[in-house]
Structure 1
Amino acid sequence: MDKPFDYAQDKPQFFNKKKELPRGADVIDAFSRSLEELFFVRNPRFKKGMPGADEALAKFMNEDAKVINGVYVYYPWMGKTVYLPEEKIYFELRTARNKNIINKEEQDKYRGVKIGIAGMSVGSNVASTLALTGGPKSMRLADFDEIEATNLNRIRAGAISIGQSKAIFFAQNIYELDPWAELEIYDKGINKDNIEDFIKGLDVFIDEMDSIDLKVRSRFICKKHKIPVLMATDNGDNVIFDVERYDENPELAIFNGRVEITEEELGNLKTFRDWIKIAARIVGAEVQTPRLLASILELGKTIAGVPQIGSAASMAGACVSYAVRKIAVGDKLPSGRYDINLDEKMTFGYNTPEGIKKREEHLADFLSKFGK
């Protein structure tokens, strides 16, 4: 399915009156129940069924609620409409249960940052989590690829989505949650010609790309424009999370100095094995799980692609959204590598001499067969 993003058909349409809706559109009325919920959000001393709650709710609905406007949000790709309170009220309701894990000032700052996500596999989990937590209203999403059955172990999509553009599908998912989202869709992906346009103007760039060339190019662009880079990498059941604060230190070495890649090296990446070797240097074979290392050795033999699982992809989304929020509110988040390791926390004997020795043996075996 090679259909470019259509801003008329692939994003919500807003109507003030029901009679203006397209003919035949199903209407879901969420307005009245949302206003009732708003009463309880703003009056937490009341609970449904408590003495006095019904009277106070009726007074609210007859007075305060009368000045709240509603809007019909039509989703062309579903042929459905939902009648909602105006944007600020809807957002207040949607983020009410964030308080005070995220307070109002933090929520507003988090909402106000502009982010770009390149790569919508793990990146789709990032985008979904950012939207779910009331994060950036303004996002750029990039991916040239379509959803395949083999993606369905790690992205939030179903069988009926196979063949759809990843970028468009996940943009629509965000719109269904946040119809006022301001999204720019690069459904043909990014390349060396448009990557700077994608990155310029962002507050945070999130790298979930496979292309080593674009990973390197994006970092030099972010250094130039003083934009921080976040990258979450699946590691079996775990996540390796890299933070590069070029906004604080434009002289910071790319990949936090872990890898120096020349133009000549980039030009010499001809085979999948070459790609894996550079990727292993970027990620660091020494922190990868034994099962992942063993799987990499089976690529092209018994395994068709680098293994990834949905639980790790979801955790990656949580890590990135947390980091975006910290950057947005001005909390300290130093450059560096963060190892989010469930194996260490939940595997018996992980840090015993025997456990350490076993992992060292797996690493030595991998390096002997694949090279450093």
Structure 2
Amino acid sequence: MIQDYLRQQVESKDYQPVFYDLKNAQDLHTFEALLKSRPYIRINDEIYSQLRELMKIRNPTKRLTAAEYDEKVQAYLDGVEIEKFGVWVYYPWNNQVVHLVNEADFIELRTSRNQHKITAAEIAVLSKKKIGIVGLSVGQSIALTLVMERLCGELRLADFDRLELTNMNRIRCGVHNLQVPKVVIAAREIAELDPFIKVKIYEDGMTEANMDDFFTAGGVLDIFIEECDGVDIKILSRIKAKELKIPVVMEMNDRGMIDIERFDLEPERPLMHGLIPEVDIPTLRGLTDAEKLPIFSPMLALDNASARMKFSLGEIGKTITTWPQLASSVVLGGALVADTCRRIALDQFKNSGRYYVDFEQLIV
């Protein structure tokens, strides 16, 4: 009986929220039909608290009374029923509906505590940036940090892998996501953090067939973040980024090493600082992790890796199956890459090179 029930369950790959503007008659009708057909949907309607907070941040010099808050909120509604103000956002994968202010107000609220470390003018610039990420282990932490800080208006995510229990030592998600594509997991969490950020996913990962689309469809990327394990894609994606003059950022997940290639400012710069060996791309496909190491070593400066990483690399195929990654390093990588991308996007950082934020050297 249990097996029969389980066979009926098909994991949805929905990752895009659905918006309803109840001032629109068709949206109102569709929304009411949704709630009627799915009475188990959970509803979060805290629109008044959002509007109250909006009035608070717009009046920083005065402590408003409850009556003053209500007066300003009612004036802002300008006769619109509060139920129909803003948008209702439906998340089909978890059967939740959330009532939110409109996009402009949402961004104002979401970024209010960034100021003045990020100015209003900078927030406006960042909201138009397009960032692509390949590889959703370190890449997931990077994506979520970019979204929390709201450093872009569009993200493109590529990863062919599905979540395994072994991945959960560094990927933030619940066990109910086992065997869900990593890109879907990341895209859903992004939508729950900020449904107004555009997300496009590539469930087959980055391939030679979809690379042009990833880099250019809907506008050329402003920054490319490479966190994949495939040697061929590491090289081919850099060739494409160089051709399109897109800066490339990579975090190594060891010793806090971040690698930056400013092909936008240095179009003749050699790939990966000249450390990519002369290899035949077709021969790189399908290599095991152990077979990749001689090629990875100069590219990723593995001679400068931490002692424990070096030891672990020698144990691949013996006592472990792949290289280790720690949650603390992944979270650090998310912060390092997000901070670097913000400064690149705002033209505050112009260098290429490799940099280390090595806790074992800094905190002794």
Q: TM-score range by the shorter chain?
A: 0.7 to 0.9
Counterpart among 5, 15, 24 of residue 10 in structure 1: 15
The equivalent of 1:183 in structure 2 is: 199
Alpha-carbon separation, structure 2, partners of 1:5 and 1:325: 34
What one-letter code is carried by the residue in structure 2 that aligns with 1:120? Answer: L
Instruction: Say whether 1:230 aligns with 2:249.
Output: yes
The equivalent of 1:61 in structure 2 is: 73
The equivalent of 1:245 in structure 2 is: 262
The equivalent of 2:145 in structure 1 is: 129
Unaligned runs of 5+ in 1: 348-372
The equivalent of 1:90 in structure 2 is: 106
Instruction: Say whether 1:286 aligns with 2:303.
Output: yes
- The CA deviation at 1:268 is 8.8
What one-letter code is carried by the residue in structure 2 that aligns with 1:208? Answer: E
What one-letter code is carried by the residue in structure 2 that aligns with 1:12? Answer: P
Alpha-carbon separation, structure 2, partners of 1:175 and 1:118: 18
Unaligned runs of 5+ in 2: 1-6, 23-27
| Cα deviations by residue, 1:186-234 (Å, 9 ceiling, x for unpaired) | 0121212222321231111110110011100111111111111110111
Instruction: Determine what percentage of the aligned residue pairs are the same residue.
Output: 33
Instruction: Say whether 1:102 aligns with 2:114.
Output: no
- The CA deviation at 1:73 is 0.5
Distance 1:324 1:174, change over 3 A: same
- The CA deviation at 1:26 is 2.3
The equivalent of 1:346 in structure 2 is: 363
The equivalent of 2:44 in structure 1 is: 28
Counterpart among 328, 337, 342 of residue 325 in structure 1: 342
Instruction: Say whether 1:154 aligns with 2:170.
Output: yes
Alpha-carbon separation, structure 1, partners of 2:49 and 2:286: 57
Alpha-carbon separation, structure 1, partners of 2:110 and 2:290: 46
Whether the aligned pair in 2 keeps the contact of 1:4 and 1:187 (CA below 8 Å) is no
| Cα deviations by residue, 1:54-113 (Å, 9 ceiling, x for unpaired) | 343132122134378311111111111001110110111111110111111111111211
SS at match of 2:295: helix
SS at match of 2:265: coil
Alignment of 1:212-227 (within 5 A): 212-227=231-246
- The CA deviation at 1:266 is 4.8
Distance 1:267 1:56, change over 3 A: closer
Alpha-carbon separation, structure 2, partners of 1:292 and 1:189: 26
Alpha-carbon separation, structure 2, partners of 1:11 and 1:312: 29
Whether the aligned pair in 2 keeps the contact of 1:230 and 1:243 (CA below 8 Å) is yes
Distance 1:28 1:270, change over 3 A: closer
What one-letter code is carried by the residue in structure 2 that aligns with 1:126? Answer: I
What one-letter code is carried by the residue in structure 2 that aligns with 1:217? Answer: L
Instruction: Say whether 1:254 aligns with 2:264.
Output: no
Alpha-carbon separation, structure 2, partners of 1:42 and 1:147: 43
| Cα deviations by residue, 1:256-295 (Å, 9 ceiling, x for unpaired) | 1233333279559844322012112111123210011111
The equivalent of 2:88 in structure 1 is: 72
Counterpart among 199, 210, 229 of residue 215 in structure 2: 199
The equivalent of 2:227 in structure 1 is: 208
Alpha-carbon separation, structure 2, partners of 1:67 and 1:276: 66
Whether the aligned pair in 1 keeps the contact of 2:147 and 2:193 (CA below 8 Å) is yes
SS at match of 1:234: coil
What one-letter code is carried by the residue in structure 2 that aligns with 1:83? Answer: H
Alpha-carbon separation, structure 1, partners of 2:282 and 2:92: 47
TM-score by length of 1: 0.86
Whether the aligned pair in 2 keeps the contact of 1:196 and 1:218 (CA below 8 Å) is no
Aligned residues: CA RMSD: 2.1
Instruction: Say whether 1:274 aligns with 2:291.
Output: yes
Whether the aligned pair in 2 keeps the contact of 1:35 and 1:65 (CA below 8 Å) is no
Whether the aligned pair in 1 keeps the contact of 2:289 and 2:316 (CA below 8 Å) is no
Alpha-carbon separation, structure 2, partners of 1:70 and 1:269: 49
Instruction: Say whether 1:336 aligns with 2:348.
Output: no
Alpha-carbon separation, structure 2, partners of 1:288 and 1:264: 25
Instruction: Say whether 1:140 aligns with 2:152.
Output: no
SS at match of 2:105: helix
Distance 1:296 1:337, change over 3 A: same
Alpha-carbon separation, structure 2, partners of 1:121 and 1:292: 17
Aligned length: 338
SS at match of 2:228: coil
Alpha-carbon separation, structure 2, partners of 1:44 and 1:194: 48
Alpha-carbon separation, structure 1, partners of 2:178 and 2:136: 14
The equivalent of 1:358 in structure 2 is: none
Alpha-carbon separation, structure 2, partners of 1:82 and 1:293: 48
Alpha-carbon separation, structure 2, partners of 1:339 and 1:62: 52
The equivalent of 1:81 in structure 2 is: 97
Alpha-carbon separation, structure 2, partners of 1:5 and 1:105: 39
| Cα deviations by residue, 1:300-351 (Å, 9 ceiling, x for unpaired) | 111222111011101111111111111211112301111121111113xxxx
